[in-house]
Amino acid sequence: MTVTLKTAEDIAGMRVAGKLAADVLEMIAEHVKPGVTTEALDRICHDYIVDVQKAIPAPLNYKGFPKSICTSINHVVCHGIPGDKPLKDGDTLNIDVTVIKDGYHGDTSRMFHVGNVPVWAERLSQVTQECMYKAIELVKPGCRLGDIGEVIQKHAEKNGFSVVREFCGHGIGKVFHEEPQILHYGRAGTGMELKAGMTFTIEPMINQGKADTKVLGDGWTAITKDRKLSAQWEHTLLVTDTGYEIFTLRADDTIPRVSA
């Protein structure tokens, strides 16, 4: 497994790309409402990335993906393709954005609540975000990938949820997906040891029901087999000499830190 440690120039480029990706999620928030289609959200994001940010939407035509963002509704785990079905009151929606600027990638996603969502949907989203932050707060040189996986798995399962196994976080930089793979389950003290200069995503996908998923006939859309809800949050981050830096931080990243 070859992991690319980033140079100061790489880090500067990724900082810019990460900020742009975060800006897209902040921009699109006001457009997420009942009656709006995910295809419309895709067009707004595409135009903003291309015309305003002068950047490139990485998902578009990536291995044949047909749109500029991923939109995953309710029981869709990830890689949902924007379409013409309007959002409904009570839907939960993950929007996943990856921006390329000057050759560097910034990758991030967050959950949106469409209108008034059930309390259990809010709880799933909250716990998933907590899983991501509990993992991020472990990141520093010497931390092992199994430490990250275990803290996510324990927090999800303690709250009665399950962790998707088929999809994971990944190294990122000039390449969209590179080593290492960041599993969202595992055992502390195992796996690769983190080093300063590594950049990767942490993006847990947590299910309300069982962990099992399947990919639909379009070859992209992954759903829960039991059709129960799924949630995901994602940040791109750097391992620094003493800890971490989140490249895709947003103004709404104000979740209370959890201690247990």
Residues annotated within the binding site for substrate are: 79, 177
- Three-point CA angle 159, 131, 29, nearest 5°: 110
Contacts of 88 (CB under 8 A, 6+ apart): 34, 114, 115
Q: Which of 81, 107, 252, 247 is nearest to 169 (CA)?
A: 107
Rounded CA-CA distance 84/82 in Å is 7
Q: Which residues are annotated as a binding site for a divalent metal cation?
A: 96, 107, 170, 203, 234
Binding residues, as ranges, are: 79, 96, 107, 170, 177, 203, 234
Cα angle 97, 71, 49; round to 5: 35
Residues 200, 236: Cα–Cα separation, whole Å: 6
- Give me the residues paired with residue 230 across strands: 207
Where do runs of H (alpha helix) occur along 53-96?
A: none
Q: Which amino acid is at 11?
A: I
Residue pair 147/134 in contact (Cβ under 8 Å)? The answer is no
Decide: residue 64, CB within 10 A, 0-12 exposed, 13-18 middle, 19+ buried: exposed
Cα within 13 Å of Cα(196), Cβ side = 6
Q: How far is CA 257 from CA 28, 135, 217, in A?
A: 25, 11, 39
The sign of the torsion formed by the CA atoms of 222, 107, 259, 196 equals positive
